């Protein structure tokens, strides 16, 4: 058994809206090159992705939508129809072969799922995935097909496993949440910047699931300008408690890297410190609860030079128990990319102290986040009380 599989294909780079669009898959190439130049990955670790079939996409997506995406990518979808499917918007423009490119990212997450669920690898990473805003019949927020939603349904049907999905992208993991909102065998936990000023606006603590699925959706909306310690407190406490409560068979982590202070689209104030800790705890809990079964996907992340390559490389280093994750970045990587980078590249794995000016409202933000967390985890606390009550009777 492999310790970890890195699912990748150059086809991922063809998921490209246009040259001005902030969603840029070159970040995967930058990450892989960083790992290569760090001597942390070998060709035998890399597993090729595949294109998901229509039948697989339709585990979650409407057939009419899949057809519309295919037509859009061939330039034959009428404008009014495109609009009703969320295609051709400023966020999610139409591009050539968008069906094939989008289905490839989904197939990558399915490949990662198969590797982990059949025991070919303990862990698997598909940085092309994590498109958490994709809906059943609509594209949204840079996402066409929702690879995590499709993979979770696929895992349920093929392996009968209960999945915990945890999403640490700065944006709410709405697409995955709504797909499994009434399903008690899938638990979703999303930590994100409050939707007050940020897309998609949902992800409040009171979105807790419905019907049989009530109590299996968790949201921790954090205040704008949240810093490392407060973010990590919420992450560690919610992830541990939800794991103990749900006891998953497999953990799927969405690793959007847009909560960093440098990210141009969001307003959180995290540093590389959280990107070191995120995979560490996922790894630990996967071994504690799931016999190691951990699938990780990418997601957002719009500072592709200073943030994403380091953050995503750290997931792989954690998966492979590689302790060489501090100190300077490989000189060959810096040399290879510095002339192409639109800003100075970081020289170390960690951020230096003080990359931003102190946040004046820090204590208020911490207090507010702690209260939000308590309310968000309330169903767990109340289920514990009920369980105690039943024991006494
Ligand atoms: Zn995001």
Predicted confidence band at 393 (pLDDT cuts at 50, 70, 90)?
very low
Number of domains in the chain: 1
Give distance in angstroms: CA of 341 to centre of ligand 1.
22
Strand, helix or coil for residue 219: strand
Give distance in angstroms: CA of 132 to centre of ligand 1.
9
* Token couple for 354: 């003080």
pLDDT at 128: 98
Give distance in angstroms: CA of 384 to centre of ligand 1.
33
Tell me the sheet residues that pair with 252: 165, 295
Whole-number Å distance between alpha carbons of 210 and 216: 9
Q: List CB-based neighbours of ion ligand 1 within 5 Å.
A: 169-171, 256, 258, 300
What's 114's domain CATH number? 3.40.800.20
pLDDT at 391: 44
Give distance in angstroms: CA of 221 to centre of ligand 1.
13
Q: Using one digit for the tens of pLDDT, what is the confidence trace for 122-152?
A: 999 999 999 999 999 999 999 999 999 999 9
Residues whose CB falls within 8 Å of the CB of residue 187, separated by 6 or more in sequence, listed in order:
162, 163, 164, 165, 216, 217, 218, 242, 246, 248
Q: Using one digit for the tens of pLDDT, what is the confidence trace for 67-84?
A: 999 999 999 999 999 999
Q: Using one digit for the tens of pLDDT, what is the confidence trace for 236-256?
A: 999 999 999 999 999 999 999
The pTM of this model reads 0.97
Strand, helix or coil for residue 238: helix
Give distance in angstroms: CA of 90 to centre of ligand 1.
16
Whole-number Å distance between alpha carbons of 339 and 203: 40
Domain coverage including residue 282: 2-392
Give distance in angstroms: CA of 48 to centre of ligand 1.
25
């Amino acid at each position: 058994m492999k310790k970890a599989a890195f699912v990748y294909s150059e086809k991922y780079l063809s998921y490209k809206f246009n040259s001005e669009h902030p969603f840029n898959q070159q970040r995967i190439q930058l990450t892989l090159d960083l790992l290569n130049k760090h001597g942390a990955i070998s060709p035998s670790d890399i597993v090729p992705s595949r294109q998901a079939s229509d039948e697989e996409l339709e585990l979650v997506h409407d057939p009419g939508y899949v057809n519309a995406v295919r037509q859009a990518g061939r330039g034959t979808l009428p404008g009014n129809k495109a609009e009703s499917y969320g295609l051709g918007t400023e966020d999610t423009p139409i591009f050539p072969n968008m069906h094939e490119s989008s289905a490839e990212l989904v197939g990558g997450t399915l490949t990662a799922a198969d590797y982990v669920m059949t025991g070919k690898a303990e862990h698997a990473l598909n940085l092309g995935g994590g498109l958490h805003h994709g809906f059943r019949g609509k594209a949204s927020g840079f996402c066409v097909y929702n690879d995590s939603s499709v993979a979770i349904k696929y895992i349920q049907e093929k392996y009968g496993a209960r999945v915990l999905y945890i999403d640490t992208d700065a944006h709410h993991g709405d697409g995955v949440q709504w797909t499994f909102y009434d399903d008690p065998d899938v638990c979703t936990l999303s930590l994100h910047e409050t939707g007050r000023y940020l897309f998609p606006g949902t992800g409040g603590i009171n979105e807790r699931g419905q019907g049989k699925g009530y109590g299996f959706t968790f949201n921790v909306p954090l205040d704008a300008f949240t810093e490392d310690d407060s973010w990590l407190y919420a992450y560690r406490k919610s992830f541990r408690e939800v794991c103990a409560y749900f006891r998953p068979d497999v953990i799927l982590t969405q690793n959007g890297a847009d909560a960093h202070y440098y990210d141009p689209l969001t307003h959180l104030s995290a540093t590389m410190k959280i990107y070191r800790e995120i995979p560490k705890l996922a790894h630990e809990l996967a071994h504690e609860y799931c016999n190691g079964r951990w699938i990780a996907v990418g997601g957002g992340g719009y500072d592709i030079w200073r943030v994403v390559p380091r953050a995503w490389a750290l997931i792989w280093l954690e998966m492979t128990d590689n302790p060489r994750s501090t100190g300077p970045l490989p000189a060959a990587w810096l040399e290879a990319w510095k002339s192409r980078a639109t800003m100075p590249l970081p020289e170390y794995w960690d951020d230096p102290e003080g990359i931003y000016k102190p946040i004046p409202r820090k204590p208020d933000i911490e207090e507010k986040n702690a209260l939000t967390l308590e309310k968000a985890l309330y169903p767990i606390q109340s289920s514990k009380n009920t369980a105690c009550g039943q024991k006494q009777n």
